[in-house]
Amino acid sequence: MTIVRIATRTSDLALAQARMMAGELERVLGVATELVPLKTTGDRLQGPLTKVGGKGLFVKEIEEALLDRRADLAVHSGKDLPAALPDALELVAFPERADPRDALVTRPSGGTLAELHRGARVGTGSVRRTALLRALRPDLEVVPLRGNVPTRLRKLESEGLDAVVLACAGLERLGLADRIDERLAPEAMLPAVAQGILAIEGRRGDAIAEDARALGHAATSLQAIAERGVLERLGADCNVPLAALAEPAEEGLRLRACLADPSGAPVLRAEASAGPEEAAELGRRVAETLLASGGEALLAALREAGT
C-alpha cells in the first residue's frame, strides 16, 4: 500500500491537526500515512517573531521537506502561511473550516472582555490581537506571549495574567473548548487571514497532491482564496496587524478586512461582497480599499520599523 508522508510542526496542535488530516487521507484515498514531524525556526526561537522574519518561519523547514522529497504533503494552519509560496509548491486543499473567531480565556474562568478590570494583564503573541485589543480596551496591559497552546494556558497562572487570547479552532482541536470563556465577535476582534482553516500543501503536479484535492471543502476554499487575496495584495507578513474574514452572503461572499497600527490607532477597515467566482478579485479589491484609505503609508511605516 502507498505510504503518504505528511510534514508537520511538532506542537501539540500541529500534530493533532496532521493526525486528523492523515485520517481523512486514509479514509478518502485508501492510503497509509506517516507523519514527518519537524521543528521549524519559529518553534525554536523564543523572542518576538516580528524581529526575525515573521510567519514564514513556521513553514520554511516544512516546505524544504516537500522540495527535497522527504515528505509528500504538508499540513499547515492557514493563518501561519505567508503571502508567497515556492513556485514548485501549491496549496491543494482547504478542508472545512472550524470556528474562525478568537477565544478569551480568563482567570478566574467565566469572564468576558468587557468585564476585565482596568489594567488587566492580557497575554497574546499576535500583533493583530495586540492592536485590536488596544483599540477596544486601551486601558488593558497587553503582555507578549509565546509557546504552544498548553504552554500559553499554563502561563495564565504562572505569569499572573488575567486573560489570554487564543484561536477557538486550536482549543477545539485539542479538546479544550471548555476553556473558552468568550468567543469574541468578529465585529470586535476580526480574525487573522485563514484562521480556523487547515491548508494541505504539495508539490505542483504530483499525483498525490492532485488526489489530496478531494479533501477540499468548496465554501472554505473560497473563503481562503478571498482572505489570502488581501494578504497577497498587501504583501503583509508577521509584523503587520492584518485581519480578514470571508463569510457566505446573498451575493456569494462577504469579505471584511482591517489593517491596524500596533498601538491600536488607527484601525483601517474595508468591506465588499462578490460572487463566488470572484473570490480572489474580491480580496484584491478590499486590499486596494485599505491601501487607498491610509494603508499604504501605514504599511510603509511598519516595514521601516521592522528593518
What are the catalytic residues?
Answer: 80
Q: Does residue 95 have a cis bond before it (omega within 30 degrees)?
A: no
The dihedral built from the CA positions of residue 201, 206, 209 and 213, taken in this order, carries a sign that is positive
CB atoms within 10 A of CB 294: 13
Amino acid in position 33: T
- CA 15 and chain centroid, separation: 16
Nearest by Cα to 144 from 135, 133, 136: 133
Nearest by Cα to 260 from 269, 248, 252, 251: 269
Nearest by Cα to 227 from 200, 198, 191: 191
Number of helices and strands (H, E) in the chain? 10, 13
What is the DSSP code (8-state) at residue 126?
-
Q: Do the beta carbons of residue 40 and residue 59 sit within 8 Å? A: yes
Per-residue b or e along 96-128, where b marks 16 or more CB atoms closer than 10 Å to that residue's CB = ebbbbbbbbbbbeeebebeebeeebbbbbbbbb
Q: Is 188 exposed, middle or buried (0-12, 13-18, 19+ CB in 10 A)?
A: middle
Strands (E), 131-181: 141-144, 163-167
Which set of grid coordinates corresponds to residue 172? 477545539
- CA 237 and chain centroid, separation: 12
